[in-house]
Amino acid sequence: MTTASESFAPRRSEPIFGRLAIIGIGLIGSSIAHAAKELNLAGRIVLSDRDEAVRARARELGLGHEIAETAFEAARDADHIILCVPVGACGAVAVEIALALKPGAILSDVGSVKNAVVEAVMPHLPEGVHFVPAHPVAGTENSGPDAGFPSLFLNRWCILTPPEGTDATAIARTRQFWEGMGALVEIMTAQHHDLVLAITSHLPHLIAYNIVGTAEDLAAVTQSEVIKFSAGGFRDFTRIAASDPTMWRDVFLHNKEAVLEMLGRFSEDLSVLTRAIRFGDGETLHKHFTRTRTIRRGIVALGQEKPETEKLRKS
Ligand code: NAP
């Protein structure tokens, strides 16, 4: 980890928020805690998790300044509260902390699905409290308090989906907080977010979960051969398919419409490729693979992925 004098992003002389509360100490919650402390984004950082063992581990790791026993205690008097729990738990946590929220506080979350979170949280939002939902498009396949690191959000997008009529200052301060951690911020509606993420993140995860499951089920390919020859493409899918089961169960249950829409389009396109293979239509296959190669090069050019040669030099 970097020291304060050699931080991965500029350290602020004045914090953005007085008291920051982080509910849920997993990969995302602990990464925010590391970054916010290292970069002085909040004067006091209080974390909480429903799991006692996780709270104990967070204390050992020195995450934030204080570990509270309950979400309510953590949220009391906080200026910025971030729900870092699975999407399906956001509504229940909002109910739990509602009476602890002070007027003017900014409530946020990091859920990978936005519309369902907005619908679950908004009815419990007390008068005078602002809600600015966020989704950092950054992560790894690891979970828990040990998985976090401060530079997780550096040069990664964080999408804010404030409901119509949200206070402009609350949006600006939330933006400032994420930019303070090195993220690039974009604002869109929750509905648009869910559609975009269905194709860029949710569907790829579903395909990875499916292909790894299929390979495991195949009686003709032994377990050891799957592992031995995994560099042929399978290995990249296994990394994605190792992602947290609870988090991903909730993503599919709460972004059902958009995922089903994208899955329908995916199946149609797959039929085109299937036909091309069946009828020996090399031209269709070559054209398709050339188009997809351009997309990959575009992602590298935008700095959202390193070129393969650089990755090889580093490993
Ligand atoms: P994680 O590592 O599994 O951590 C989630 C933590 O929240 C766990 O300690 C969990 O405890 C706790 N929790 C669950 N329900 C709770 C409740 N009702 N009250 C208090 N704590 C509760 O998950 P994560 O990867 O950090 O993901 C958190 C959120 O970030 C999710 O909404 C996810 O969609 C979003 N996100 C994840 C990624 C990623 O790549 N991982 C990227 C962007 C956004 P238990 O273990 O006891 O359930």
Q: CA torsion, points 99, 102, 105, 106, in degrees to nearest 10? A: 0
Average pLDDT over residues 212-223: 73
Whether the Cβ atoms of residue 180 and residue 41 lie closer than 8 Å to each other: yes
- Regarding whether 237 and 113 lie in a shared domain, the answer is no
Structure-token pair, residue 188 = 């869109």
- Regarding whether 153 and 212 lie in a shared domain, the answer is no
Distance 301 CA to ligand 1 centre (A): 31
**Maximum Cα–Cα distance across the chain:** 67
Measured at the CA of 26, the angle between CA 243 and CA 34, to 5 degrees, comes to 120
Average pLDDT over residues 38-48: 98
From the alpha carbon of 30, which atom of ligand 1 is closest?
A: 26
Hey, whose CA ends up nearest to atom 12 of ligand 1? 24
The answer, yes or no, to whether residue 1 has pLDDT greater than 80, is: no
- Regarding whether 161 and 183 lie in a shared domain, the answer is yes
Distance 110 CA to ligand 1 centre (A): 9
- Regarding whether 212 and 178 lie in a shared domain, the answer is no
Mutate to test the pocket of ligand 1, among 55, 69, 84, 142 (most ligand atoms within 8 A of CB): 84
> Is residue 314 in a domain?
no
- The model's pLDDT over 99-157, given as tens digits with 9 standing for 90+, comes to 999 999 999 999 999 999 999 999 999 999 999 999 999 999 899 999 999 999 999 99
Q: What is the pTM of this model?
A: 0.92
- The model's pLDDT over 166-205, given as tens digits with 9 standing for 90+, comes to 999 999 999 999 999 999 999 999 999 999 999 999 999 9
Among residues 188, 218, 249, which one ends one of the domains?
188
CA distances from 301 to 5, 137, 278, 294, 305 (A): 30, 18, 35, 10, 8
> How many CB atoms neighbour CB 287 within 10 A?
11
Domain of residue 213, residue span: 192-303
The CATH number of the domain holding residue 124 is: 3.40.50.720
